[in-house]
Chain A
Amino acid sequence: MARSTGRQPAELLPLKPDVFWILAVLARGERHGYGILQEAERLSGGSVLLRPGPLYRRLSRLLDEGLLVEVDERPADVEGHDERRRYYRITPFGARVAGAEAERMARALAMARDAGLAPEER
């Protein structure tokens, strides 16, 4: 069960890139720890390489802050799942935090475009 800490998403910004990626991956569906690593690598075309050590520490913290929960049921669409693995699911609060971070990045990108620092959207 997610712990409600009564906090606003804005208090937790900015997110480290790794954390944002974890939330982004889990937003697409539940995964176990190693699956998060693999999916992040796949989605980013190999540029985001999370490592198990920091990953589990971040998962632990995200669980404590209520952005994620652990799940007991196995999602139906995952192949080759292992019953003993723990799966993680993003909470509504976690989704709001990730969304807030995405908005922050979008604002930064817009300002960069205004200043001619970033290419216009193709």
Chain B
Amino acid sequence: MRGASVVLRLAEAAYRVALRLYPRRFRERFGEDLLRAFRDGSRGVLRRGGWRGLAAFWSRCAMDALVEAGRVRWGGGRGAGLGRGVDGAPGPGRREPGGAGALDALVRDARDAWRAMLRRPGPAAVAVLTLALGVGANAAIFSVVNGVLLRPFDYPEAGELVVLQDRSLEGGAPFRTTGGAFLEWRAGNRTLDDVALMGGWTMNLTEPGLEPERVTGSNVSESFFSVLGVEPALGRTFRAEEMRGGARVVILSDALWRGRYGADPDIVGRALTVDGEAWRVVGVMPPVALPTPLGDVTVDPLDARRVWVPLDFDSEWVAGYRSHVFVAIGRLRDGVTPEAAASDIEAITGGIRERQPDGYARLTSDVRPLREVVLGDVRRDLWILLGAVALVLLVACANLTNLLLARSVERARERSVRAALGAAWGRLLRLGLLEAGILGIAGGALGLAAAALGMDVLVSLLPEDLPRRGDIHMDGAVLAFTAAASLVAALAAGLVPALRGARPATAPSLGSGARGSAGHRAGRLTRGLVASQLALACALLVGAGLLVRSFQALRATDLGADTAATLDAEILLPNARYGTREAAAE
């Protein structure tokens, strides 16, 4: 068979690689012999036992290579099978550590567990797949929860940041505020370190030689970057004097600088063509998720192409009390709560109400932590989602327990023999737990791989306006979570079967295959597990229904911004021309 010899040759090449685990001296001495033995053994086993036998043989050889290489490198005297810890000088290239006996025992147990699973690969494969499903789903959803909720914002002390907007006195969702209110808040507050203002507009970049590009820009007060606590990567931020008279200076985002201007090191001072006019670059921001100028109050993904330009407080439209198109962001003073700041700001807005009956007749202000405004209801929905996949993992665990229990009943006889020969209770328990642990590691690794592959698909299914959607990926936290989840799941599932397996043998088990009372007890436990799995599955179905509804709610959630105000911002004209068309914009 041509095909067979190709496979055999590939296996040989793989075994040759596995042999590199041995120390070089040992390899030079015995490498060729080991390879030959592998080759001859493979042919013999294939002839006698077919491909199944060959698979078992190969996995034994792989396990041996791993274990024996370790023993050659570090095994104590006992490992060599000569006497009780040889006192002679160690052979060349070998060390004699103190804990050699314990390591040997653990390795032996692990190998026994591994071999036990190989004898019946079917159930083990089902267990691994079940666990992989549960763990993988959890890893994927946790990535989302981590990326959206748990990951801190990119600003220092982000917990001190609050968003200031306007709100109707009767209640309801907050909406954008005016420049006039901002100026009074900034001047009159006693609870904030500083406040910044942000608006948005869309513009066209049309430098000669480059593709025209439509970009969403942000007009900001000079305090914007300092309130957030972000330093520019290149150049500087805006100065106070640039906030008047329409200074044509611009700051670029990192993504725009790299994507459009090729990370030009001399970008500062360069002229850009914005809406047909020349503007000068004074700075570039580092890759940080800064607030989004238009639409809901959220933060940009890291690859957002943005520009920032100064607000012109000389303009009545900017500094007045009628254009509700801006969002203010403030930083609380040390020790001040958002509620205290809210009262403070509301008091100022009360004054505005009296003096500006046209604009602010029935309005007050709304001050909330940035986190709450950005994440809003999404928090609750995501935790519910995580709860649902945790239920999935629970079902997988129940499944796994059932499986391990069935196997433990099957091997009752084998265990009785061990126990009769003096195996300690502790060792039998360890064997059971090791088997569960190996399944856990295998299931976890598989689940993680599946989640990594499916991550892109999952993110594309998430609602478009999910905050921080663009920066969801699997990182160290997800890895740690997955490892912990799979080990805990496997050990929890394996504990009861392992405990049952370690119990002292009853005489009937040593007989000719009688199951006796052990079988009855196992039957009750199995039925109980099946019942609990059914119950969990029902709970899961109900949960899934709730989940779908939450997802729909997620898509439709009004995260706080008044869409009418957003529309106004969209049709507003570029700064350069508002002077002439200001009346039309009103």
A5 to B64, CA, bound (A): 29
Supposing A34-B36, A59-B30, A61-B91 touch, asked if A54 and B82 sit within 8 A by C-beta, the answer is no
Residue contact A53 to B82, C-beta cutoff 8 Å: no
- A59-B30, A61-B81 given; 19 more Cβ-contact pairs under 8 Å: A5-B88, A14-B84, A15-B81, A16-B82, A19-B82, A32-B33, A34-B36, A34-B37, A51-B61, A53-B34, A53-B67, A57-B79, A60-B26, A61-B91, A64-B91, A65-B82, A65-B86, A84-B32, A86-B33
If over half of A's interface residues share one DSSP class (helix, strand or loop), that class is named, otherwise mixed; here it is helix
Contact call A85/B33, Cβ cutoff below 8 A:
yes
A12 to chain B, nearest CB (A): 5
Whether B81 pairs with A52 at a CB distance below 8 angstroms is no
> Which chain A residue lies CB-closest to B68?
A53
Chain B residues, Cβ within 8 Å of A24? none
A53 and B61 contacting across the interface, CB-CB below 8 Å: yes
Does residue A120 face the partner (Cβ distance < 8 Å to B)? no
Whether A52 contacts B86 in the complex (CB less than 8 A), given A34-B36, A61-B91, A84-B32, comes out as no
Q: A54-B64, A60-B29 are in contact. Are A13 and B37 (CB under 8 A)?
A: no
B78's nearest neighbour on chain A, judged by CB, is A16
B-to-A contact residues, CB < 8 Å: 26, 29-30, 32-34, 36-38, 40-41, 60-61, 64-65, 67-68, 71-72, 75, 79-84, 86-88, 91-92
Quick one: given A53-B68, A60-B26, A65-B82, are A7 and B33 in contact (CB under 8 Å)? no
Most chain A CB inside 10 Å of its own CB: which residue of B33, B36, B41, B65: B33
| Distance, CA A7 to CA B82, complexed state (A) | 12
* A50 CA / B461 CA spacing, docked (Å): 55
A18 near B30 (CB under 8 angstroms)? Answer: no
- A16 contacts across to B, CB distance below 8 A: 81-82
Chain A residues lying within 8 Å of B84, measured Cβ to Cβ, are: 14
Chain B contact residues, majority secondary structure? helix
Give the chain B neighbours of A7 by CB distance below 8 A: 88
A107 at interface by CB-CB < 8 Å: no
Contact of B30 among A14, A15, A56 (CB under 8 A): A56
Give chain A residues whose Cβ lies under 8 Å from the Cβ of B41: 34, 37, 52
Given known A-B contacts A52-B34, A60-B29, A11 and B61 have beta carbons under 8 A apart: no
Shortest beta-carbon distance from A92 to chain B in Å: 17
User: Given A52-B41, A52-B64, A33–B33 Cβ distance below 8 Å?
Assistant: yes
How far is the CB of A48 from the nearest CB of chain B, in Å? 14
Q: How far is the CA of A1 from the CA of B271 in the complex (A)?
A: 85
- A113 contacts the other chain (Cβ, under 8 Å)? no
Q: Does A19 lie within 8 Å of B33, measured CB to CB? A: no
Judge if A81 is at the interface, Cβ distance under 8 Å: no
Partner of B71, one of A12, A51, A57: A57
Q: Which residue on B lies nearest to A53, using beta carbons?
A: B64
B64 & A12 in contact (Cβ 8 Å cutoff): no
B37 near A12: Cβ-Cβ < 8 Å: no
Q: Are A52 and B83 in contact, with the CB atoms below 8 A? A: no
B18's nearest neighbour on chain A, judged by CB, is A53
Cβ-based interface call for A58 (8 A): yes
